[in-house]
């Protein structure tokens, strides 16, 4: 499935999913999310967006959302 736009399903700072990122891609790079080649590959193979926190985990970035005491 071809894509010209970022395949990230965005989340707010508190972790709530709020919809697809529609920034155009240039060589697998999104203005907002940076390099998303793995996520583009997943979208082409499966036709599904990648949750922003899944991408952030892959890149070693802090996850969005509140931490609960059981996760600290």
Per-residue pLDDT, 40: 97
For residue range 20-49, list pLDDT tens digits in order.
999 999 999 999 999 999 999 999 999 999
Per-residue pLDDT, 3: 76
The mean pLDDT value of the chain amounts to 90
**Three-class secondary structure of residue 54 per DSSP:** helix
In 3D space, the residue among 26, 25, 31 whose CA is nearest the CA of residue 6 turns out to be: 25
Question: What gap in Å lies between CA 64 and CA 17, rounded to an integer?
Answer: 10
Per-residue pLDDT, 68: 45
In 3D space, the residue among 67, 6, 16 whose CA is nearest the CA of residue 37 turns out to be: 6
- The burial class, CB within 10 Å (0-12 / 13-18 / 19+), for 23 is middle
State percent of the chain over pLDDT 90. Answer: 86
């Amino acid at each position: 499935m071809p894509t010209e736009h970022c395949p990230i399903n965005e989340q707010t700072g508190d972790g709530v999913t709020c919809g697809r990122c529609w920034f155009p891609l240039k060589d697998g790079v999104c203005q907002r999310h940076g390099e998303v080649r793995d996520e583009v590959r997943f979208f082409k193979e499966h036709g599904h967006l990648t949750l922003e926190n899944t991408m952030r985990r892959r890149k070693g970035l802090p996850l969005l959302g509140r931490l609960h005491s059981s996760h600290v």
